[in-house]
Chain A
Amino acid sequence: MLRIDRSIYDQIVAHARRDHPDEACGVVAGPEGSDRPERFIQMVNAERSPTFYRFDSLEQLKVWRGMDDRDEVPVVIYHSHTATEAYPSRTDISYASEPETHYVLVSTRDADTIEFRSYRIIDGVVTEEPVEITGAG
């Protein structure tokens, strides 16, 4: 189960919409061991592509150091699919390496519908989990 605050949920969806038709990506950091996504970090898609995303490696280093300094981990890693459903692709699965991370997929294929889904991806096995939106909304 992913519990995520409404304001962060909205920021992820807004980022995905803004970058459409390219894929958008980013991280929500949270205190180590807390499983609470608290600090929204929008990342550059170094590929600037509608079919692929990759964190810019130098930006990633900066962001990961920032998390280290604060004893945070990437509680959520999100990206968007712009023409297909919000389900991990083969490429997504092959790159997924963090067993503690919630992998969030947003699809922007339909401008009027929000598709926001969350997964655990461990050793190539995808398990979808419920998303609970918390806070004022």
Chain B
Amino acid sequence: MAIEVRIPTILRNLTDGAKAVDGEGSTLSELITDLDKKYPGIAARLVDNGQLRRFINIYLNDEDVRFLGGIDSPVADGDTVTVLPAVAGGMR
């Protein structure tokens, strides 16, 4: 078993076009480190200075990890992690 990570269009250039990839780890941070070994560059698109980038939403199953433990959220085999670009903006 592994953790399934669903990849948004904007990051599929790093995963050879794959929509979903498998990774391992006991926290989201470890999972991202593991992914970066297989898909170099992906960590830098998700994390900046040890924090999740604000332009990116990461979900653990059905929850936004910002409402869980952020990058330290525990993850386990069988979980699904979904990455989506945040959609935001405004007049300024």
Contacts and interface: CB of A to CB of B under 8 A. Distances in A.
A84 B91 contact: yes
Contact of A54 (B10, B88, B92): B88
Contacts of A89: 89-92
Given A61-B57, A61-B62, A54 B91 contact: no
Interface in A44-67: 47, 49-55, 57-58, 60-61, 64
B68 to A, nearest CB: 12
Given A61-B84, A97-B10, A53 B90 contact: yes
Interface in A1-25: 23, 25
Interface string B57-82: 10100111010000000000000001
Interface residues of B, number: 19
A83 B90 CA distance: 11
B25 interface: no
A98 to B, nearest CB: 7
Contact of B87 (A25, A51, A94): A25
Given A57-B57, A57-B66, A52 B9 contact: no
B31 to A, nearest CB: 18
Contacts of B91: 23, 50-52, 81-84, 89
B86 interface: yes
B10 A53 contact: no
A91 interface: yes
A89 B91 CA distance: 5
B78 to A, nearest CB: 18
A88 B92 CA distance: 9
B10 A51 contact: no
A128 interface: no
Nearest to A87: B91
Contact of A98 (B10, B59, B89, B92): B10
A55 B88 contact: yes
